[in-house]
């Protein structure tokens, strides 16, 4: 599976956990279940960096656009991050070698919602 590299101008809302503007966590947010699986929305108003591992020191491979919904295949502990959905050390694996901070993903609850990554 190839990784498409995106060149994106940084915005004040582009984050992966350590910085960014405040999002409205109370905005209407829904989890989407389709024939291909469950997809979880990124916090409204944020463009979230996708990294090669569970922390902000890992390389950015792309940036998710506003309103993106993502699959979560497994989750892994890593760097602690504070976002609109709290503070967590969970990172969500959304594709082979691609992780986003769970604090920026609406899953409907705290803690693991998918198997732990190897």
Residue pair 97/57 in contact (Cβ under 8 Å)? The answer is no
Residue pair 31/107 in contact (Cβ under 8 Å)? The answer is yes
Per-residue pLDDT of the chain (118 residues; tens, 9 = 90+): 333 322 333 344 445 543 343 334 444 567 766 656 899 999 999 999 999 999 999 999 999 999 999 999 999 999 999 999 999 999 999 999 999 999 999 999 999 999 999 8
The pTM (predicted TM-score) of the whole model is 0.74
DSSP 3-15: ---------TTEE
Residue pair 109/85 in contact (Cβ under 8 Å)? The answer is no
């Amino acid at each position: 599976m190839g990784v498409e590299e995106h060149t994106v101008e940084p915005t004040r809302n582009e984050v992966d956990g350590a910085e960014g503007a405040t999002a409205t966590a109370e905005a209407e947010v829904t989890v989407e279940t389709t024939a291909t699986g469950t997809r979880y929305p990124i916090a409204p108003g944020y463009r979230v960096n996708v990294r090669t591992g569970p922390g902000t020191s890992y390389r950015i491979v792309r940036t998710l656009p506003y309103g993106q919904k993502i699959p979560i295949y497994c989750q892994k502990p890593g760097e602690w991050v504070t976002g609109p959905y709290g503070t967590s050390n969970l990172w969500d694996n959304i594709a082979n070698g691609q992780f986003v901070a769970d604090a920026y993903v609406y899953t409907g609850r705290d803690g693991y919602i998918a198997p732990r990554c190897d």
